[in-house]
Amino acid sequence: MPLNIPDNLPAAETLLEENIFIMKESRAISQDIRPLKIGILNLMPTKMVTEIQLLRLLGNTPLQVDITFLHSQTYKSKNVSSEYLNKFYNTFDEIKHEKFDGFIITGAPVENMEFEEVAYW
């Protein structure tokens, strides 16, 4: 079944090349099926790479999956533009009243950082 992803998500091109069944958000809203709603808090610096990895796995389910990407409201990313985050990601405050069937929280590459240097918890 398809992954419901935001229109114009750059990861879509790679997923289509790999024959991962995706459905743009604008088309998904016309479907008469309740998708599994999954939130993904992506803490990785390489957002698009992580998106592709997770969407590959979720695309192998027989269920339709509606994806909502989240980012930290206070942490300023050094590796992805604020325009990208504003276009494809939400903050917790923006979705806190929505209902989700599941949530994925990625790890973050903090193993070589001092505890005090980690800027998000």
Q: How many domains does the chain have?
A: 1
CATH number of the domain at 44, please.
Answer: 3.40.50.880
pLDDT at res. 12: 85
Residues 11-40: what's their mean pLDDT?
Answer: 81
Q: What pLDDT digit, counting tens, does each position of 101-120 carry?
A: 999 999 877 677 677 776 66
Q: What pLDDT digit, counting tens, does each position of 12-23 carry?
A: 888 888 888 887
Please tell me what DSSP assigns to residue 113.
S
DSSP 50-104: HHHHHHHHHTTSSS-EEEEEE--SS---SSS-HHHHHHHEE-HHHHTTS--SEEE
The angle at the Cα of 29, spanning 28 to 35, to the nearest 5 degrees, equals: 65
Host domain of residue 81? 3-117
Can you tell me the distance from the alpha carbon of 35 to that of 4, in angstroms, rounded to the nearest whole number? 8
pLDDT at 121 over 60: no
pLDDT at 70 over 90: yes
Q: Considering the entire predicted model, what is its pTM?
A: 0.72
Angstrom CA distances, 109 to 14, 63, 106, 112, 120, stand at 24, 31, 10, 8, 12
